[in-house]
């Protein structure tokens, strides 16, 4: 799946969260109620390069989110028609979505057309674990 116009970021719960058992009550109720990933899942998938103290501090700042906005179909025709230069920053250690078929890159980036790929060996929460490195990559992504 790519992020084409008329598709959703999350096409189904099983594709979004394959690490969780599909039979769990938490997963069944995910569409109806806001959710917060259990700390062990969030730590291993989102902030694996952060120490335990940082992970606990950041997790305490999180609030439950509804899944529905991620399942809404997006109309990206206007976005794709713009001549704006595009960049994609790929955190190579980010396994919030499992690597491979369901990973961030190239599933999310391939619909951009011509774009600048900027890679950084960090996880999903790089803004907390290495903000200066992320800032460097943002500057690199917009260098022209």
Domain residue ranges in the chain? 13-141
Range scoring the smallest mean pLDDT among 92-106, 110-124, 130-144: 92-106
What is the DSSP-derived secondary structure letter of residue 128? H
DSSP H or E run through 25:
helix 25-28
Cβ neighbours of 56 (radius 10 Å): 13
**Residue-level pLDDT at 47:** 94
Residue 50, pLDDT above cutoff 90: yes
Give, in degrees to the nearest 5, the angle at Cα 49 between 46 and 55: 65
Verify cis geometry, omega within 30 degrees of 0, for the bond prior to 31: no
Residue 15's pLDDT is: 47
Split at pLDDT 50, 70, 90, the class of 118 is very high
Determine the pLDDT at residue 103. Answer: 80
Give the pLDDT score at 79. 81
What pLDDT is recorded for position 99? 79
Query: Per-residue pLDDT tens for 9-47?
Result: 555 444 455 555 454 555 556 666 777 888 998 999 899
Instruction: For residue 90, give the H/E element and its range.
Output: strand 87-91
What pLDDT, on a 0 to 100 scale, did the predictor assign at position 92? 92
Rounded to two decimals, the pTM is 0.74
């Amino acid at each position: 799946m790519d992020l084409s116009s008329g598709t959703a970021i999350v096409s189904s719960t099983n594709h979004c969260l394959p690490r969780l058992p599909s039979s769990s009550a938490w997963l069944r109720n995910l569409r109806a109620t806001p959710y917060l990933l259990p700390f062990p899942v969030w730590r291993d998938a989102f902030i694996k390069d952060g120490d335990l103290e940082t992970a606990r501090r950041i997790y305490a700042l999180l609030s439950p989110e509804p899944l529905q906005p991620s399942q809404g179909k997006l109309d990206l025709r206007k976005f794709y028609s713009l001549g704006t230069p595009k960049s994609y920053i790929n955190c190579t250690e980010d396994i919030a979505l499992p690597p491979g078929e369901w990973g961030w890159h190239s599933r999310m980036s391939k619909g951009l057309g011509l774009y600048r790929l900027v890679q950084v060996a960090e996880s999903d929460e790089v803004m907390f674990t290495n903000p200066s490195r992320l800032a460097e990559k943002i500057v690199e992504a917009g260098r022209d």
